[in-house]
């Protein structure tokens, strides 16, 4: 493992009260050997499993155990620790800690510091399988994911309680790999020109009415934001949304499907990657009325005509570009997704079932399946849309190295 990205980094390792606390000793040792400055925080319960002296010796720093202990220098301790951190790791993260963090409870040094930090926060849950599967715990995990908290999934196997199932702390190798992934420079798109479409188009009926869909634009904006962070030059062609333009992204505002088509085709030849995350209306009114339609009869008939299929058109004219489509489905997801990959000449298609909890419109999470042009599929667990975007970009980058 290349640990250059960890050298000199201030990493807070928080240990909560679970039998897996002993594994945190190995984690702290490895981080120190990798050149990180490690500060350990222990809860009262954690000290029942491992003595603070062990972590003090391994980290070469005093261990924080008490909210009200006298500070070594005059600073508000939980604030100074929170501000200094490059990364916050909680291993193990118990159901109790997860519940407190979800509720915003700050009743000890650890929970207070977690609320005060702006550093990336990584939780490694560990608990009995029945606790992990409990609806309250799963809801807490989902809420925290939506807030941007990162996770290392627990492993499956024989637990300390004697039950076999999911809930054991992830192996230290896995936790270290996730830490390295978070801390490593992510300019895998450096030098690439990326075009992203987002939002739901509006098709005018008259001067005050239009046809549209439920798209919030959040997934497309997440794709644009993460692409910039990974070194790309990004142009975002966006239908109307309530979202702020991501920093570093050039935005072109459009409204209708036809306006989006014109903007995308005008840019297409000069970009390397196209992410078609916009929800483009399939149909539009045959004629836009110049004046507001007045209410008269019990029914109103509108003649609709088909909009151009922008994604299919891009596929027909594709040269060097990597073309990625998105598909929101309600049934037969795999059948429709695979058909779109081949019929529209795509490199990848990101599909989701919008009826699934946590994967619908306007929410901050998503559950997607990635299909590629070779017929392969990869299912992702529920993640924030930003995490989904990061995973999609990684798969795109990996595909270049295979060619």
**315-362 pLDDT per residue, tens:** 999 999 999 999 989 999 999 999 999 999 999 999 999 888 888 788
Instruction: State the Cα–Cα distance between residues 275 and 148, nearest whole angstrom.
Output: 22
Q: Residues annotated as binding site for CTP?
A: 282, 292, 308-311, 326, 340, 344
Instruction: State the Cα–Cα distance between residues 253 and 198, nearest whole angstrom.
Output: 10
Q: For 127-138, how does the pLDDT look when each residue is reduced to its tens digit (9 = 90+)?
A: 988 899 999 999
Q: How far is CA 205 from its chain centroid?
A: 36
Which of 5, 25, 161, 322 is flagged as catalytic? 161
Tell me what pLDDT residue 76 has: 41
Tell me what pLDDT residue 69 has: 62
Residue 197 has pLDDT above 90, yes or no: yes
Q: Distance from first CA to last CA of the chain, Å, rounded? A: 25
pTM of the model: 0.65
Note whether 273 and 224 are within 8 A (CB): no
253 beta partners = 238
Q: Which residue has the tokens 């798109």?
A: 189
Contacts of 13 (CB under 8 A, 6+ apart): 24, 27, 28, 31, 38, 39, 40, 41, 55, 59, 89, 91
Note whether 191 and 261 are within 8 A (CB): no
Note whether 43 and 15 are within 8 A (CB): yes
Identify the CA nearest to 373 among candidates 399, 355, 401, 392: 399
Please state, for a pLDDT cut of 90, what percent of the chain lies above it. 74
221 — pLDDT class (breaks 50, 70, 90) = very high
Identify the CA nearest to 16 among candidates 129, 108, 87: 108
Tell me what pLDDT residue 74 has: 37
Average pLDDT, the chain: 91
Identify the CA nearest to 203 among candidates 251, 252, 259, 243: 259
Q: Which of 167-171, 178-182, 349-353 has the highest mean pLDDT?
A: 349-353
Under DSSP, the state recorded for 284 is: E
Q: For strands 121-125 and 87-93, give the pairing.
A: parallel
Tell me what pLDDT residue 160 has: 67
Residue 68 has pLDDT above 70, yes or no: no
CA-to-CA dists, residue 87 to 36, 160, 230, 266, 399, angstroms: 11, 29, 19, 42, 30
Write out the E strands in 80-192: 87-93, 121-125, 150-151, 155-158, 164-168
Q: How far is CA 20 from its chain centroid?
A: 27
204 sits in the region (left: phi over 0; alpha: psi -120 to 50; else beta) called beta
Which domains, from first to last, does the chain contain?
Answer: 4-183 (3.40.50.1950), 193-402 (3.40.50.10300)
Note whether 368 and 352 are within 8 A (CB): yes
161 is catalytic: yes
């Amino acid at each position: 493992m290349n640990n250059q990205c960890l050298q000199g980094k201030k990493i807070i390792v928080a240990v909560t009260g679970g039998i897996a606390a002993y594994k945190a000793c190995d984690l702290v040792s490895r981080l120190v050997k990798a050149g990180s400055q490690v500060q350990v925080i222990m809860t009262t319960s954690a000290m029942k499993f491992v003595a603070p002296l062990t972590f003090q010796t391994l980290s070469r720093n005093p261990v924080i155990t008490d909210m009200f202990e006298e500070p070594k220098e005059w600073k508000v301790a939980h604030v100074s620790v929170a501000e200094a951190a490059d990364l916050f790791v909680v291993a193990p993260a118990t159901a109790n800690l997860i519940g407190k963090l979800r509720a915003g409870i700050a009743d000890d040094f650890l929970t207070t510091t977690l609320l005060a930090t702006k550093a990336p926060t990584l939780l490694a849950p560990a608990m009995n399988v029945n606790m992990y599967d409990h609806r309250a715990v799963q809801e807490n995990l989902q809420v925290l994911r939506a807030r941007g908290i990162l996770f290392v999934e627990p492993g499956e196997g024989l637990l300390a309680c004697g039950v076999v199932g999911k809930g054991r702390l992830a192996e230290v190798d896995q936790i270290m790999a996730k830490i390295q992934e978070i801390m490593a420079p992510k300019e895998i798109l450096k030098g690439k020109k990326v075009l992203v479409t987002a939002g739901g188009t509006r098709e005018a009926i008259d001067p005050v009415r239009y046809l549209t869909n439920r798209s919030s634009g959040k997934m497309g904006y997440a794709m644009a934001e993460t692409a910039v962070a990974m070194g790309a030059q990004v142009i975002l062609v966006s239908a109307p949304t309530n979202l702020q333009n991501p920093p570093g992204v050039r935005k072109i505002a459009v409204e209708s499907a036809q306006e989006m088509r014109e903007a995308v085709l005008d840019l297409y030849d000069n970009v390397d990657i196209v992410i078609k995350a916009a929800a483009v209306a399939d149909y539009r009114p045959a004629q836009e009325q110049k004046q507001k339609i007045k209410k008269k009869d019990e029914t109103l008939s509108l003649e609709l005509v088909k909009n151009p299929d922008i994604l299919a058109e891009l596929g027909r004219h594709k040269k060097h570009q990597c073309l990625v489509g998105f598909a929101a489905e309600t049934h037969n997801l795999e059948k429709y997704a695979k058909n779109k990959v081949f019929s529209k000449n795509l490199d990848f298609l990101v599909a989701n079932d919008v009826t699934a909890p946590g994967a619908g419109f306007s929410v901050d999470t998503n559950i997607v399946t990635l299909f590629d042009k070779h017929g392969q599929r990869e299912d992702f667990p529920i993640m924030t849309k930003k995490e989904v975007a990061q995973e999609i970009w990684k798969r795109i980058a990996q595909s270049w190295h295979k060619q």
